[in-house]
Amino acid sequence: MSEDIPEVPSWVPRDSYPFEHRYLDLAGARVHYVDEGVGPPLLLLHGNPTWSFLYRELITHLRGQFRCIAVDYPGFGLSRPGPEYGFTPAEHAAVVERFVTELDLSGVTLMVQDWGGPIGFAVATRQPDRFSAFVIGNTWAWPKSDPGTQVFSRTLGGPIGRYLILRRNFFVERLIPLGVRRRTLSTPVMDAYRGPFPTPESRHPMHVFPREILGSRPFLAEIERGLPTLGDRPALLVWPTKDVAFRDAERRRWERTFPNHRTVILEGAGHYIQEDAPEQIIAAIREWVARRADED
């Protein structure tokens, strides 16, 4: 752990995110994470354009049962990239893998959503002995090229998206509110999502992700090939009904990948399920863990 701890920015809400800030220096990046609670590790991975703040409710309510670990990818949240870092999912996965091995995590339950899926499952397929179970939100971990995916990737990953994301902060100002269907996010919460991206230059990491939906097909194909090695692990699916990005087809594929699964439908929830349905997800995880303990 680095001894040089930066000052916590004012946009981090201390009332809803009151956790100790920890840092590791990995491959030239200063990686921020929280590590709260006792029990088996629960590794929480975010997507675009969020950060570990997304998991604040889960950490608060599950840290009596799990060692809750939530990491920010370089360029997101409170993590800072090293020189020449390109913000691709493959680079993020390499950082997370280094993170997992540096902390020597084992018996990990991995929770993923959005880009957390490819990033997390890239690590799990490379380090399968460290992972014991999965909580899978709306995500994927294989190449996608359906028409909707192609339009989204080419538009937001291209010049139009570059303008919208860098100049208008489109992902934060528009897509986060549109992706939360059950509630309206407060100003402090929105400020916590705005905080890491105050300038056009700082928003570049957000622009890389949509481009890489198509650009990272070889990386995604490698993960796809490795998924069968994890198929014997238990999995909990927490799946929203109002996400336009990931629908029933992706959910059914995850269910086939993990025969020992339980699926909880988050009725009316949008893309950002941790904001839309935290209480339901927490209850689902607790019930799932209790059932597995009874079966053992």
Give me the residues paired with residue 80 across strands: 30
Answering whether pTM is above 0.75, one says yes
The neighbour count for residue 107, using CB atoms within 10 Å, is 13
Give me the residues paired with residue 32 across strands: 23
Tell me the C-alpha distance between 263 and 28, whole Å: 39
Tell me the C-alpha distance between 47 and 59, whole Å: 17
Q: Which domains, and CATH codes, for the chain?
A: 22-143+219-295 (3.40.50.1820)
Tell me the C-alpha distance between 68 and 81, whole Å: 23
Burial of residue 110 (number of CB atoms within 10 Å: 0-12, 13-18, 19+): buried
From first to last of its 296 residues, the chain has per-residue pLDDT tens of: 444 667 899 999 999 999 999 999 998 999 999 999 999 999 999 999 999 999 999 999 999 999 999 999 999 999 999 999 999 999 999 999 999 999 999 999 999 999 999 999 999 999 999 999 999 999 999 999 899 999 999 999 999 999 999 999 999 999 999 999 999 999 999 999 999 999 999 999 999 999 999 999 999 999 999 999 999 999 999 999 999 999 999 999 999 999 999 999 999 999 999 999 999 999 999 999 999 998 87
Active site residues: 114, 243, 271
Burial of residue 43 (number of CB atoms within 10 Å: 0-12, 13-18, 19+): buried
Q: N- to C-terminal Cα distance for the chain?
A: 37
